[in-house]
């Protein structure tokens, strides 16, 4: 299975959470959306272990099974569709998570996240 990893699950993995560790170990490929990377690095700068956290992240990103996900023109179309759907449903979610959902849709991935608001998007496969 190919997964897109949300910020909270990367943090769980680093904290040695058994569910996160198991899922990372069994995944064929792990994709880190650009938004996840930005949220992680922002968190690092606000903390006291920025260098250590960046070192750990770099090691994770250098794994041959890990790739970054960046938006394309098609991503913006998925974003717009998801935004419209959520607005029609009256169930808004954070903007960064709409970007993550759009990347998951575009790349036919399974989302690995703890965020419950993704339930509002039944077309997004989740772990």
pLDDT tens per residue, range 75-120: 999 999 999 999 999 999 999 999 999 999 999 999 999 999 999 9
pLDDT per position as a tens digit, 27-50: 999 999 999 999 999 999 999 999
Place of tokens 């996160």: 20
Q: How many residues in the chain?
A: 127
- Residue spans per domain, the chain: 2-120
The answer to whether 68 and 36 are in contact (CB under 8 A) is no
CATH 3.10.20.30 fits 2-120, yes or no: no
Those residues whose C-beta lies under 8 Å from the C-beta of residue 56, and which sit 6 or more positions away, are 14
Q: Is 85 left (phi over 0), alpha (psi -120 to 50) or beta?
A: alpha
End-to-end CA distance of the chain: 10
Residue 124: which pLDDT band, with cuts at 50, 70 and 90?
Answer: very high
Q: What is the pTM of this model?
A: 0.93
Predicted pLDDT of residue 78: 98
């Amino acid at each position: 299975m190919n997964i897109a990893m949300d910020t909270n699950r990367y943090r769980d993995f680093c904290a040695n959470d058994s569910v996160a560790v198991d899922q990372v170990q069994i995944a064929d490929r792990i994709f880190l959306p650009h938004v996840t990377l930005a949220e992680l690095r922002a968190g690092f700068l606000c903390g006291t272990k920025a260098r250590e956290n960046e070192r750990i992240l770099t090691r994770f990103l250098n794994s041959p099974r890990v790739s970054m996900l960046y938006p394309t023109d098609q991503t913006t179309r998925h974003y717009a569709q998801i935004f419209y759907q959520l607005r029609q449903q009256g169930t808004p979610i954070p903007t960064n998570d709409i970007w993550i959902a759009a990347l998951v849709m575009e790349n036919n991935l399974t989302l690995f996240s703890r965020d419950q608001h993704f339930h509002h998007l039944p077309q997004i496969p989740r772990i």
